[in-house]
Amino acid sequence: STSPRRAPSRRRHPSEGAVLHLGPDGRLTRLLEGIHYSNGVALSPDGGRLALTLFGPPEPEGTPRRIWLYSAASGELRAFTHSAKSERMPRFSPDGRQLAFLSNREGDDQIYLMPIDGGEARRLTRGVGAVSQLKWSPDGQSLAFLAQRARTAEEEAREKSREDARVYEKDDRYPQVYTVEVATGEIRLRLGAPWRANDLVWAPHVGRLYVAATEDESAPLLKYQVFALDAAGSEPVPLAQIEGPIGQLGISPDGVWLSYLGCRERGPSKHDLFLVPTGGGAPRNLSASQVDHTLESYRLASGRPPGRLGDVRLPLPPGRDRPRRRGEDLALARDGL
CATH of the domain at 257: 2.130.10.10
Distance from C-alpha of 112 to C-alpha of 132, rounded to nearest angstrom: 13
pLDDT > 90? residue 187: yes
Residue 134 lies in a domain: yes
Pick the most confident of 121-125, 146-150, 289-293. 121-125
Residue 305: the pLDDT is 33
Q: What is the DSSP letter of 158?
A: H
Task: Identify whether residues 275 and 328 lie together within a single domain.
Answer: no
Residue 87: the pLDDT is 93
Q: Return the higher-pLDDT residue of 303 and 101.
A: 101
Q: How many domains does the chain have?
A: 2
What number of other Cβ atoms are within 10 A of residue 327's Cβ? Answer: 16
Residue 248 lies in a domain: yes
89: left (phi over 0), alpha (psi -120 to 50) or beta: left
Q: What is the pLDDT of residues 64-117, one digit of tens each?
A: 889 999 998 898 999 999 888 899 999 999 999 999 999 999 989 999 999 999
Q: Which of 16-20, 194-198, 207-211, 328-332 has the lowest mean pLDDT?
A: 328-332
pLDDT > 60? residue 5: no
Distance from C-alpha of 285 to C-alpha of 45, rounded to nearest angstrom: 30
Task: Identify whether residues 128 and 207 lie together within a single domain.
Answer: yes
pLDDT > 50? residue 307: no
Contacts of residue 296, Cβ cutoff 8 Å, sequence gap at least 6: 327
Report angle CA 250, 96, 227 to the nearest 5 degrees: 25
The range of the structural domain enclosing residue 321 comes to 1-89+309-337
pLDDT band at 308 (very low <50, low <70, confident <90, very high): very low
Composition of the chain by helix, strand, coil, percent to 5: 5, 45, 50
> Strand, helix or coil at 154?
helix
Distance from C-alpha of 55 to C-alpha of 102, rounded to nearest angstrom: 15
pLDDT band at 23 (very low <50, low <70, confident <90, very high): confident
Task: Identify whether residues 266 and 173 lie together within a single domain.
Answer: yes
Strand partners, 141: none
How big is the chain, counted in residues? 337
pLDDT > 70? residue 283: yes
The number of C-alpha atoms within 13 Å of 331 and in the hemisphere containing its C-beta is 25
Whole-model pTM? 0.81
What's the start-to-end Cα distance of the chain, in Å?
Answer: 23
Task: Identify whether residues 183 and 319 lie together within a single domain.
Answer: no
Residue 56: the pLDDT is 73
> β-strand 28-35 against 5-6: which pairing, if any?
parallel
Q: Return the higher-pLDDT residue of 320 and 127.
A: 127
Average pLDDT score over residue span 299-315? 41
Q: Which of 51, 50, 68 is nearest to 10 (CA)?
A: 68
Residue 9 lies in a domain: yes
Residue 268: the pLDDT is 67
Distance from C-alpha of 213 to C-alpha of 194, rounded to nearest angstrom: 10
Q: Return the higher-pLDDT residue of 316 and 293.
A: 293
102, containing H or E segment: strand 98-103
Distance from C-alpha of 87 to C-alpha of 105, rounded to nearest angstrom: 8
Task: Identify whether residues 185 and 256 lie together within a single domain.
Answer: yes
